[in-house]
């Protein structure tokens, strides 16, 4: 069998990027010796002027492809600048291009190795979304970060009240609801009488006045008031920022309103989750040839690991944590619904546990999302909670139920048709 020749990228460059400096390795064909290649290595700083000099040099050398590793966030300004200069860039996963163990490791050797791996086609580029999606992703991720910070500040406030023997959260489900907030503001202002505080209850909290009086009896002092004031102000500040980000996100989602509406049709996905999904996945599904490619990219599919004919139970690996958080929240809300995906989660959770059931349901959810975003005319239609039951093989169900009854009773079970039974 003849060996197929390796397709080589003739003019390639690779960058080993750090925070302050980068090392560039250029590999091009030798002018006088056919089949031979020459390389040149240069060092640059990561300042804008130096990067423009790098772009000019690579342009003069007619570089066809530039490769770089995804090193923290240091690759972003380099990648975006070179891309804006009209150069073709690849971002590579460091795990996929890891150097051979045992060899010396320097910035120069890493750049040379990366160039050789790239020119021989031994790697594939990571997905880089277009600029509008990247900007949308920055906003959705920062909003999620602020919401987490607000939740943490709320927990600090609850611990502070516990320290003062104020059991407000035992009676009130929402610590920052209208009634609870009015009570907290009054306590900070100096009111300490639990009966007066309890009378501030509104709506459905009115029948709980007796319990509130007991819960608000503690030793809330000026020390607690000062800290509570700062915590409430911090919560209000974060809420204002979250609202501002949400308004900006809605404006940036306007060009993708149709895709967001498609995703919003799926039970468990609201406008917020739809925006986060589009920010992480994008709207162009041509980068994922099949639903399986999207699922694999999101690390929601287990990796098959076998040795000597025995499976070793491959895990899914670590994927995008922001996408994973959104999918987890969607599945958590789906689990309580009487839908196809909700029933799928509950059926799997009984058999393989909640953690794996969340990943498996997210797998199905991503497949649905891929089909919706791939076809602008597609609409989501829930299959119903009885989808699996209706597709079960009747004989298989009879066999399983018979075995369960035999294990339960200890007797041999024989099935006989009823005289008035009509076969389906």
Structure confidence by residue, pLDDT tens digits, 362-381: 999 999 999 999 999 989 98
Q: What is the largest CA-CA distance in the chain?
A: 95
142 & 169 share domain: yes
Tell me which residue of 203, 196, 148, 193 sits closest to 173, measured CA to CA. Answer: 203
- Domain assignment present for 1: no
263 & 195 share domain: no
88 & 178 share domain: no
139 & 174 share domain: yes
Q: Which residues have a Cβ under 8 Å from the Cβ of 340 and sit 6 or more positions away?
A: 382, 383, 384, 385, 387
CATH number at residue 41: 3.30.420.10
**Residue that terminates a domain, selected from 218, 252, 286:** 252
Q: Are strands 306-307 and 310-311 parallel, antiparallel or unpaired?
A: antiparallel
- Domain assignment present for 389: no
220 & 163 share domain: yes
- The whole-number pLDDT of residue 307 equals 64
172-209 b/e with 16+ CB inside 10 Å = b?
beebeeebbbebbebbbeeeeebeebbebbeeebeebb
Domain of residue 344 covers 257-374
- Domain assignment present for 124: no
Q: In what order do the strands lie in the sheet with 65-69?
A: 37-45, 21-29, 12-17, 65-69, 89-92
Tell me which residue of 111, 117, 89 sits closest to 15, measured CA to CA. Answer: 111
- Domain assignment present for 189: yes
239 & 269 share domain: no
139 & 247 share domain: yes
Q: Using the 8-state DSSP alphabet, how is residue 285 labeled?
A: G
224 & 282 share domain: no
Averages of pLDDT over runs of 10 residues in the chain (424 residues) are 58 92 91 84 93 93 91 90 92 81 82 89 87 94 96 96 93 91 94 92 91 93 95 96 96 94 91 94 92 89 67 69 93 90 90 89 93 92 80 73 87 80 50
54 & 85 share domain: yes
Q: Which residues have a Cβ under 8 Å from the Cβ of 147 and sit 6 or more positions away?
A: 238, 242
Q: How far is it, in rounded angstroms, from Cα 111 to Cα 307?
A: 34
137 & 245 share domain: yes
- Domain assignment present for 226: yes
The helix (H) or strand (E) run that includes residue 66 is strand 65-69
- Domain assignment present for 279: yes
212 & 104 share domain: no
- The whole-number pLDDT of residue 424 equals 45
Report phi then psi at 332, rounded to 5.
-60, -40
Supply the pTM of this predicted model: 0.82
**Residue that terminates a domain, selected from 217, 252, 287:** 252
- Domain assignment present for 404: no
**Residue that terminates a domain, selected from 205, 237, 252:** 252
155 & 201 share domain: yes
- Domain assignment present for 214: yes
Number of domains in the chain: 3
């Amino acid at each position: 069998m003849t060996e197929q020749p390796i397709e080589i990228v003739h003019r390639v460059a690779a960058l080993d990027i750090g925070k302050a400096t980068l090392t560039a390795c250029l590999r091009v064909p030798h002018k006088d010796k056919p089949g031979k290649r020459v390389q040149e290595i240069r060092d640059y700083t990561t300042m804008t002027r130096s990067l423009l000099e790098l772009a000019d040099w690579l342009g003069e050398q007619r570089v066809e492809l530039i490769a770089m590793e995804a090193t923290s966030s240091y690759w972003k300004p380099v990648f975006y600048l070179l891309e804006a200069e009209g150069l073709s860039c690849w971002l590579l996963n460091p795990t996929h291009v890891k150097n051979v163990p045992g060899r010396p490791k320097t910035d120069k050797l890493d750049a040379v190795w990366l160039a050789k791996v790239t020119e021989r086609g031994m790697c594939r580029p990571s997905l880089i979304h277009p600029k509008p999606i990247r900007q949308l992703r920055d906003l959705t991720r920062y909003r999620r970060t602020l919401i987490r910070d607000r939740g943490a500040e709320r927990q600090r406030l609850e611990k502070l009240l516990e320290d003062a023997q104020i059991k407000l959260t035992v009676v009130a489900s929402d610590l920052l609801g209208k009634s609870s907030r009015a009570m907290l503001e009054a306590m900070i202002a100096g009111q300490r009488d639990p009966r007066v505080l309890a009378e501030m209850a509104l709506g459905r909290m009115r029948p709980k006045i007796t319990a509130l009086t007991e819960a608000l009896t503690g030793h809330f002092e000026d020390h607690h008031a000062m800290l509570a004031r700062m915590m409430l102000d911090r919560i209000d500040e974060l809420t204002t920022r979250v609202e501002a980000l949400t308004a900006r996100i809605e404006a940036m989602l306007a060009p993708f309103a149709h895709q967001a509406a498609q995703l919003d049709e799926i039970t468990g996905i609201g406008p917020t989750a739809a925006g986060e999904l589009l920010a992480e996945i994008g709207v162009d599904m041509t980068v994922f040839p099949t639903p399986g490619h999207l699922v694999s990219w999101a690390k929601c599919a287990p990796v098959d690991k076998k040795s000597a004919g025995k499976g070793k139970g491959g895990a899914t690996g670590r994927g995008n944590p922001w996408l994973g958080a959104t999918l987890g929240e969607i599945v958590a809300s789906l689990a309580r619904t009487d839908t196809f995906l909700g029933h799928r989660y509950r059926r799997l959770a009984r058999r393989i546990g909640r953690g794996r059931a969340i990943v498996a349901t997210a797998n199905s959810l991503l497949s649905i999302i891929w089909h919706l975003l791939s076809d602008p005319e597609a609409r989501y239609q829930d299959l119903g909670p009885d989808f699996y039951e209706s597709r079960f093989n009747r004989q298989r169900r009879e066999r399983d139920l018979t075995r369960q009854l035999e294990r339960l009773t200890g007797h041999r079970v024989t099935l006989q048709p009823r005289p008035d039974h009509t076969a389906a």
